[in-house]
Amino acid sequence: HEHVKKNWQLEKAQRIKPSLWWQQVAQAQAQAQTTSTEQSDANANTPKLSNLSTDGKAWFIHPVAMVDYFQEKTKLWHEPLDNPQRTHFNSSGDERKFNGAFGFVRNGGAKSHAGLDIFADINTPCYACLDGKIECYIPEVKNNKGEGIDYGNVLVIKVKGDDLRKSRNETSLEFGKNGEIEQAKDFNINADYFYLRYCHLSTKRTD
């Protein structure tokens, strides 16, 4: 890296010369070079600041060689679906835009919904929102009577609390008047770990 960096510094100095448009600086340097050549011969590895542009033109360069020297800021959060969209219809086909929101949004506020429903066709790719560990996978969730409760297959991912907090954005409730809430009263945002639950999955497959 030091070799590449040194070469780039030499090349950068040579490329910057045409972009300097100060006429007086260029003229002064040209005059100095006519009286002395010792400086240019002193060190062959030192870029020669010569031939400064006097016509006012500037040339723009792209420091491609330095790309690897900068750290890219990565985004922790990934949406669970590509272009996620809230559901506007319930499982019975009735249009109830707030029915899939999180909070006490069903039966006039008497029944809560512990999730956020987003629309997806069968076999739509689903993503982990954060890096984590698969805590459990439950095929076709059933009640204590062994009956299906329309949850389908459920996957739970354990994620770090710090990762979730770094990814948290400001929210604006769309259905606040219908019982939608941001979080439960006993929700601890400072927890070490959180569990992300994916319901209604058709298959268990990782790519």
Q: What integer pLDDT is reported at residue 130 of this predicted model?
A: 96
Q: What integer pLDDT is reported at residue 207 of this predicted model?
A: 62
For the chain, give the number of residues: 207
Q: What integer pLDDT is reported at residue 31 of this predicted model?
A: 67
> Which has more pLDDT, 40 or 177?
177
Give residue 194's identity as a one-letter amino acid code: F
Q: Residues 6 or more apart from 60 whose CB is under 8 A from it?
A: 19
pLDDT over threshold 90, residue 58: no
pLDDT over threshold 50, residue 74: yes
Return the H-helix or E-strand segment holding 106.
strand 103-106
pLDDT over threshold 50, residue 93: yes
pLDDT over threshold 80, residue 86: yes
| Domain edges within the chain | 2-69, 103-201
pLDDT over threshold 60, residue 56: no
CA 147 to chain centre: 41
Mean pLDDT is lowest, of 86-90, 103-107, 143-147, for 143-147
pLDDT over threshold 90, residue 28: no
Task: Flag whether the pTM goes above 0.85.
Answer: no
pLDDT over threshold 50, residue 103: yes
Residue 150's closest CA among 87, 97, 106, 199?
199
Edge-first strand listing for the sheet containing 132-138 = 132-138, 153-160, 193-201
Average pLDDT for 187-204: 92
Q: What integer pLDDT is reported at residue 21 of this predicted model?
A: 45
Burial of 149 (0-12, 13-18, 19+ CB in 10 A): exposed
